Every structure is written in C-alpha cells, then in structure tokens.
Amino acid sequence: MPGYKHPCRYCDKLIPPESNVCPLCGKVNPLGPLRCPKCRNPIQKDWKKCSNCGLSLEIVCPKCGKSTFFGDYCEYCDAHLVVVCPNPKCKAEQSPIGNNCVKCGKPLK
C-alpha cells in the first residue's frame, strides 16, 4: 500500500514518498532535507559550511559562473550542480568537490 504523497521541494506538486526524482518537474532530491554533497549530512540553505565535514557550502556554478549555495541546483541559472568526468570511457556525473573523478581517478579539468 503506497504512503501519503509529499510536496516536491521545487515545484510543490504532490509526489510519491519514495521519490528520488520528481516525476513532474524532473529535479533530483525532491524530498527530505538538503544534504552535503561530500558527506551527505543534512544542511540548511543559510549555512556557510557543513556542520559535519566543514565543506564550504558556497560554490561557483560551473554553468553561469555565479557564487551560489551548494545545494542540488544553482540559485541563479537553475543548473544541476554537477560536473561530468572528461574521460571518454567514464563520463561519470559527480558533485564538483574534488580535482579527480571519484569513479576513474582522472583529473576533472
């Protein structure tokens, strides 16, 4: 028996409680708290650093170049805050928190 539907944090439409992606607006992580891209600890939008690992929660958006909160999406251009590994055999998507790909180890730049 499915549970009660919950509002998506981005579009406010009601979606299934186990959703990892909103089936209506297509954005990831539509339910539950925002989480640190590094340690997955819950974070809040007004924080400057993660309370668990200390990661700076201010980042330059890889798409528009503006400084934004390090949630799932840029506050200015709405781009998903990920980078794609340039290795043609890998192409893994990941948070832009390191210099090397977490999957293959190759440099991201």
pLDDT, one tens digit per residue, over 63-80 is 999 999 998 899 999 999
Predicted pLDDT at 96 = 87
* Percent of all residues in the chain with a pLDDT value above 90, rounded to a whole number: 71
Report in angstroms the alpha-carbon separations of 45 from 9, 25, 96.
13, 21, 18
The segments of the chain whose pLDDT lies below 70 read 1-2
List 42's β-bridge partners, or say none.
35
